[in-house]
Amino acid sequence: MESGVVVGVDIGGTKVLAGVVDAQGRVSSTALRTTPGRRVVTAQVEDALVEAILGSAGGRPLAGVGVAAAGFVDSRGERVMFAPHLPWQGEPLRRLLEERLDCPVALDNDANCAARAEAHHGAARGATSALMITMGTGIGGAVLLDGNVLRGANGMAGEFGHMQVVPDGQACECGKKGCWEQYSSGNALVRNARALMAEQPSVLDEMSGGSPERVTGPMVTSAAEEGDLVARAAFATVGEWLGVGVANLVAALDPEVVVIGGGVSAAGDKLLDRARSALQRNLVGAAHRAVPSLVAAQLGPQAGMIGAALLVR
């Protein structure tokens, strides 16, 4: 590529994270912005993206920018067709950013980007087949086959979070009901904790100033680390649903490994132990097959932007 820095940027339901990424996947500088939200004009989201990108570059010229977007990206990697937590509908994001940044831009779904990063530099390295599940505000996913991301006819494969698991269940921001991410995600974790706070004492009462509506995912994680029963019960429920969903995906796709990434995965074994148990119990023929390893992503919250930088390279 031309001289200059390559920036990867990951935009999700709550934050925009951009960083300069070298050819070995190492991040040298980052910039963080808050996602404006779903009920804003699209230009505000693009402004946040550009601010984060330029902030991470620190005045250095841009050789290219890769964007990992929490939404459905078309097969040509040009438009975000729909995003449950953002205002985009058919947004020509690649062209708009190229015009504003005056450099090449590559675009894909955030989970696809995270999967590429984990395949090259992380937990899926060496596997011929793998599933990537990203747990943040919602759930994203990707399928890796022979080291490549399977994008599907429309570029939208891997939207596991919007599989219906409870008919007529919890309303989802996508407009449907009973989606998997309503039972196993950062939003689900917080909702579970808030409900349980009404039933028994919790350190979350003190953390939130006695206002359950102020409880956040990081608070629940911190409380669980302190042994708080409410927080641990909230994680147990999310982990159980994670294992159930993964069992269904494994039955369909039979991967070597399942990698769990995203912000919620930072809880580690508090989440994954329950999910592994649920996977073993719910996977058809588990006693007669090799059950894939269920492992935490190695690249943490930077996986999306590392994978996006790989894509533009």
Question: Quick one: pLDDT band at residue 300, thresholds 50, 70, 90?
Answer: confident
Tens-place pLDDT, residues 191-247: 999 999 999 999 999 999 999 999 999 999 999 999 999 999 999 999 999 999 999
Q: What are phi and psi of 247, to 5 degrees?
A: -60, -40
Tens-place pLDDT, residues 108-126: 999 999 999 999 999 999 9
Residue in the structure block whose two tokens are 């991301």: 149
| CA distance readout (Å), 278 to 131, 186, 247, 262 | 17, 19, 8, 20
Please state the separation of Cα 61 from the chain's center in Å: 29
Please say if the pLDDT value at position 10 is more than 80. yes
Interatomic CA distance for residues 145 and 128, integer angstroms:
6
Strand 148-149 with 105-109, pairing: unpaired
DSSP state of 171: B
Domains and CATH numbers, the chain: 5-115+302-312 (3.30.420.40), 125-297 (3.30.420.40)
Question: Both tokens of residue 130?
Answer: 């793998």
Q: 17 and 301 in contact (C-beta within 8 Å)? A: yes
In the three-class reduction of DSSP (H, G, I as helix; E, B as strand; rest coil), residue 250 is classed as: helix
**CB atoms near residue 293 (< 10 Å):** 14
Interatomic CA distance for residues 199 and 170, integer angstroms:
21
Length of the chain: 313
Please state the separation of Cα 141 from the chain's center in Å: 8
Tens-place pLDDT, residues 150-176: 998 998 899 899 999 999 999 998 889
Q: What is the pTM of this model?
A: 0.85
In the three-class reduction of DSSP (H, G, I as helix; E, B as strand; rest coil), residue 51 is classed as: helix
Q: What are phi and psi of 35, to 5 degrees?
A: -70, 130
User: Nearest-5° angle of CA 269, CA 307, CA 29?
Assistant: 90
Q: 145 and 128 in contact (C-beta within 8 Å)? A: yes
Give pLDDT, residue 267.
83
**How far apart are the two ends of the chain, measured CA to CA in Å?**
7
Q: What residue type is 40 in one-letter code?
A: V
Please say if the pLDDT value at position 37 is more than 80. no
